[in-house]
Structure 1
């Protein structure tokens, strides 16, 4: 008797979700005896822009600064808990803080270009990190970074001009170009549009959309409409605590917490 072989297809397993780029667990931040951040846990992903919202003094910028150890520059600051980048403890004694800040770049509230040429502003980081062996390589890095920051067409004929001579919006895009020139993995933005006019703000928001996926992006903003426009995940901070964290659409249309709803609807903040 002939046996008939039956071929059974192995079910295709769904792709496993990508691991989080950064994770923070049970993070506390103290300035001397004052506790500024209380037991915050959050994840940052490559394919989503994460927005931190909340009233002034709620801790969102303080927490942002823990993600690349900027609080190390404050002598009274102390951070506890666990923060990891690709699984590595960023507060480990073995972590090179200079390298960490190259991997986790920062764009500040007020544009702060160096008092150097546009070219040298962008070339500064790659030069100190030894990323270009020859002038041609540096030229490529500078041009590529300015293009990704949406600034190349506006400055390509005046790269030797001072970066401080640019408009406020151009200066902020120059600072973004400077941050991405060292090929970071994460970009932290601390209210990057608060000092800009609506047109410059729109350009920065468009840039954030274009950079999403290439970098993990975290933005602190007081502008809830901006958070709704640019982010896919939103974290609401209040009095140093993380009140609610989830999909941006859910946070703004169906918040779980009363404090979130009160802030979103303008009852305080």
Structure 2
């Protein structure tokens, strides 16, 4: 199911799952996925294999469908009236759109960090504790304290906030709020972390810290990041998919996409001829 598709076969079928190499097994497999908003088709017959233990970047011009496709990976599009998804999206071989899927559990396994930091209007501690508490992950207050500390440490925020866990999460700086949101996602022990332009609202220093964090988290989670910054994609990812007009034009190792793209449209985008 997760074997790589020969390049010649992939080139002859837009629906064939594209997987750059067999080094890491697939965590998510999308097969012939189309996403509609009412009658408008935003994603057109996309197939891709997203590997474990790597950072995969989605790049492309505004409106090309990369964020729409990202949101389909944990069914966030379910919250949009008139949205529907065709095709298959498999998480460890299980179809996430099957009727028996528990969407709350799915979103615990496939966490999401949004473009604009969105901490709860609660304390720093409660922002992290909320997920483990509702999912029954912590059996005691001591265990919950440990999860909060570990999550903040993994997000590189513990040393900055350990003495003020009772303060509101919304009182933190923008970069700290985004790391708090990453810590909140980590707290429920996800397998995949989706990031939708997580640095677009941040200054360069905060952006650098988030990028360092992404690199530190690599190998522990499958991470998928949507970014408008090709420089950021080149810095943080090992796999890159180029989207255009609702389709994946090219998918491969990040070094190949940025140095020896196969498709002319990819080359034009990378070199700044459009986008």
Q: Distance in 2 between matches of 1:109 and 1:17?
A: 30
The answer to whether structure 1 residue 265 and structure 2 residue 267 are counterparts is no
Q: Distance in 2 between matches of 1:18 and 1:158?
A: 40
* CA drift at 1:17: 5.2
Q: Distance in 2 between matches of 1:151 and 1:47?
A: 22
Q: Distance in 2 between matches of 1:137 and 1:147?
A: 15
Q: Distance in 2 between matches of 1:182 and 1:48?
A: 20
Q: Distance in 2 between matches of 1:123 and 1:47?
A: 26
Q: Which residue of 1 aligns with 2:52?
A: 46
Corresponding residue SS for 1:27: strand
Corresponding residue SS for 2:26: coil
Q: TM-score, normalised by structure 1?
A: 0.93
Gaps (5+ residues) in structure 1?
1-15
Q: Which residue of 1 aligns with 2:185?
A: 179
* CA drift at 1:19: 2.8
Q: Any conservation in 1 of the 2:54–2:221 contact (CA below 8 Å)?
A: no
Q: Which residue of 2 aligns with 1:6?
A: none
Q: Which residue of 2 aligns with 1:209?
A: 215
Kindly report structure 1 stretches of 4+ aligned residues shifted beyond 3 Å.
none
Which of 120, 123, 142 aligns to 1:136? It is 142
* CA drift at 1:44: 1.2
Structure 1 residues 137-176: aligned runs within 5 Å: 137-176=143-182
Q: Any conservation in 2 of the 1:46–1:212 contact (CA below 8 Å)?
A: no
Structure 1 residues 73-84: aligned runs within 5 Å: 73-84=79-90
Q: What are the superposed Cα offsets for residues 213-233 of structure 1, whole Å, 9 maximum, x if unpaired? A: 100000000000000000000
Q: Any conservation in 2 of the 1:49–1:231 contact (CA below 8 Å)?
A: yes
Q: Any conservation in 1 of the 2:67–2:226 contact (CA below 8 Å)?
A: yes
Deviates more, 1:108-117 or 1:45-54: 45-54
Q: Distance in 1 between matches of 2:60 and 2:217?
A: 24
Equivalent residue pairs, number: 254
Q: Which residue of 1 aligns with 2:252?
A: 246
Q: Any conservation in 1 of the 2:25–2:52 contact (CA below 8 Å)?
A: no
The answer to whether structure 1 residue 113 and structure 2 residue 126 are counterparts is no
Q: Distance in 2 between matches of 1:173 and 1:43?
A: 27
Corresponding residue SS for 2:209: helix
Q: Distance in 2 between matches of 1:46 and 1:259?
A: 28
Q: Which residue of 2 aligns with 1:63?
A: 69
Deviates more, 1:192-201 or 1:40-49: 40-49
- What RMSD in Å do the two structures reach over aligned CA positions? 0.8
Q: TM-score, normalised by structure 2?
A: 0.91
Structure 1 residues 189-200: aligned runs within 5 Å: 189-200=195-206
